[in-house]
Amino acid sequence: MLITTPNLAKPDETYARLIATHDGLSEGESHALNARLVLILMNHIGDDMVLAEALRLARDPGAV
Amino acid sequence: MKHDVPERYALAFRLYPYAKSPDQDAARPVRHKAVVVGGGPVGLATALDLGRRGVPVVLLDDHEGAGLGSRALCFAKRTLEICDRLGAAGPMLGKGVQWNLGKVFHDNRLLYEFNLLPEGGHAMPAFINLQQPWFEKYLHDAILAAQAEGAPIELRGKNRVDGVIPGEDHATLEVMTPDGPYRLEADWLIACDGARSPLRNMLGLGFDGRVFEDNFLIADVKMKADFPTERWFWFEPHFKSGDSALLHKQPDDIWRIDFQLGWNIDRAKELEPARIRARVDAMLGPDVDYELDWCSIYTFQCRRMERFRHGRVLFAGDAAHQVSPFGARGANSGVQDVDNLCWKLALVVAGLAPDSLLDTYDSERVYGADENILNSTRATDFITPKTPVSKLFRNAVLELAETVPFARTVVNSGRLSMPCTYDGSVLNGADHPDMPARSRPGSPCPDAPLATGWLLEQLGRGFVLLAIGAEAPERLEADGLTVPCLQLDPTEALAARYLGGVPAAIYLIRPDQHVAARWDSYEEQAVAAALARAMGKE
Ligand SMILES: Cc1cc2nc3c(=O)[nH]c(=O)nc-3n(C[C@H](O)[C@H](O)[C@H](O)COP(=O)(O)OP(=O)(O)OC[C@H]3O[C@@H](n4cnc5c(N)ncnc54)[C@H](O)[C@@H]3O)c2cc1C
């Protein structure tokens, strides 16, 4: 099951780190970084059902 | 009066020169049990398999042998196993190049290497590289050998099929020869006439699917370079000879090179030898000596007929389905069609199985074709991404692959052809939950070494029972068949491949070496019921 309830211990810090990771990158480089990040996280999660849910939710955030 | 059956392509081997048949002077069209149209790899294998199963068969082709130009190159283990059953694999292995090691590059960086590391204990290697004309020639050699032993096979060169009239219980063919036209009738007509299938068009049948908007230049070059026997694949190669490139070894010092050229190209210009040489030079470096052996430009399609059976007409090979070459599935899947069709047709012709058994040729091979189309579509989409975001992810995968192992499993430069398991087929019988998944009903039997020879050598003439460490009678007589039982001690390989978590097993094996059903002990009623089911009697 995809976790949609709060699961980050320090949401502000984690979010800031995500933004900071993109510091100094062009838009194209940022897109490439995001693509790599998605792939890395997908592999970490591994579970097909969870990933399918996440993809659905990302495509249509209204569909929770 | 002399008529013309012109050659549409040059021949590599003239195998079955035209000879006038008495059928051509017959007052009425002569009726044959089975007629195969097309003498490519699929047609030749069909004639060979049917003939060896005792079904009289006539093969018609508008040429007299194997066409020049190598096309299919990679022949997979399952194809070799089928060819071995047909008596043709020996010379293929002798001539073919075996390989296990692959390298994947992006731009000028080596991303990673892979080793197919074939599992031990199989008679056939994972793959061989062999030019298609040789594959066809060896099938033809096996036909000659089978004919010498009395197999009722007849090959007719320069016999071009110009018309077909389907009937209730037969089909009539209009055939053109150098001595003029004649007609002949077939109880069963097997259309193996290739991707452009004239028979499919004459019957007005559709062939829908996807065209990939890309052109691939295939250049076979002859060189004495001491490159290792490996498969090298480049994404966006630094030598800029194409958006992707492939280098692969063939027999006789020939190397297959593929360049992806994109969609909007000037074909004639790209085929100029000087231009091709410029691309090859950029790839191989300036000091490599080579000759261009054969070159061609292809666009690829993934498509299939909705149904492979139309009454008395059965479609097989490229005539029925077409895939992009990534993953080498064209000829390999066509040979699996043959494997699936011929035993069924032989049982129906002998009156031992109902006509409806042939409907399972359609259902099982449509399933196989869809699997191949899915795999080769995915590979093609990875190699030639269709949208900017798809390219973004593709390149992200490539970037990660150099350092992060998981990404290597996502890189797709063609998933090599694996045999089809007919999951969910109506012919499948009982399964056992504690036995290995790889040998479940519907799957092709994994090979294993026996005290002398190989397991697969014992399978494939008809139905067979395997009793592995289990008690069973010597044979089962049922449904007009005698099914012999092969008693085997559970060696390590047999236990791993067939027993899994059980101490003993009974397997019912189909004539195409696929598993029909399996149990942990012999019970005559259950086995007989599974046999009836596998013969389409349910
Ligand atoms: C560049 C390239 C690379 C490939 N690489 C691979 C690979 O590595 N592995 C693999 O498995 N596959 C590969 N393939 C695919 C493979 O070549 C085909 O799948 C295979 O040839 C199909 O065999 P077939 O017998 O169905 O048809 P074909 O080989 O096309 O044979 C059809 C035959 O029918 C005859 N015919 C046509 N019309 C008539 C008529 N009216 N009357 C009588 N005869 C007729 C033709 O002359 C021909 O002999 C590749 C293809 C290409 C283009």
Distance to chain B for A59, nearest Cα, Å: 14
Q: Tell whether ligand 1 has an atom less than 6 A from the beta carbon of residue B193.
A: yes
Give how far Cα B478 sits from Cα of B268, B345, B353, B532, Å.
Answer: 62, 19, 12, 8
Query: pLDDT (tens digit, 9 = 90+) per residue, B58-79?
Result: 999 999 999 987 689 999 999 9
- Each residue of A8-60: pLDDT tens digit? 999 999 999 999 999 999 999 999 999 999 999 999 999 999 999 999 999 99
User: Whole-number mean pLDDT of chain B?
Assistant: 94
What gap in Å lies between CA B226 and CA B289, rounded to an integer?
A: 11
Q: What is the chain B residue with the closest CA to A29? A: B392
- Best of B392, B394, B397, B403 to substitute, by most chain A Cβ atoms within 10 angstroms, is B392
Backbone angles phi and psi of A3, in degrees to 5:
-80, 120
Three-state secondary structure call for residue B392: helix
Q: Which atom of ligand 1 is nearest to the CA of B41?
A: 25
A39 contacts in chain B (CB < 8 Å): 393, 396-397, 400, 407, 410
Q: Please, what's the largest Cα pairwise distance for chain A?
A: 36
Q: For residue B160, what pLDDT band results from cuts at 50, 70 and 90? A: very high
CA dist B263 and B279 (Å) reads 17
Do B481 and B475 meet the contact criterion of CB atoms below 8 Å apart? Answer: no
In degrees and rounded to multiples of 5, residue B521 shows phi and psi of -155, 165
Considering only A55-64, B75-84, B220-229, B387-396, which range has the smallest mean pLDDT?
B220-229
The listed range with the strongest mean pLDDT (B35-49, B96-110, B371-385) is B35-49
| In chain B, % of residues over pLDDT 90 | 82
Q: In chain B, what are the domains?
A: 11-86+119-206+303-370 (3.50.50.60), 437-534 (3.40.30.120)
pLDDT of residue B1: 57
The tens digit of pLDDT for each residue in B499-522 reads 999 999 999 999 999 999 999 999
Q: B269, B216, B268, B271: which is closest to B246 by C-alpha?
A: B216
Q: What is the pLDDT of residue A62?
A: 86
Using the structure block, give the residue that is written with the tokens 């060979």.
Answer: B48
Instruction: Report pLDDT digits (tens) over B394-438.
Output: 999 999 999 999 999 999 988 877 889 999 999 999 999 999 999
Q: Is A32 on the interface with B (CB under 8 A)?
A: yes
Q: Per-residue pLDDT tens for B106-158?
A: 998 999 998 887 889 999 998 999 999 999 999 999 999 999 999 999 999 99
Per-residue pLDDT at B2 exceeds 70: no
Predicted structure pTM score: 0.95
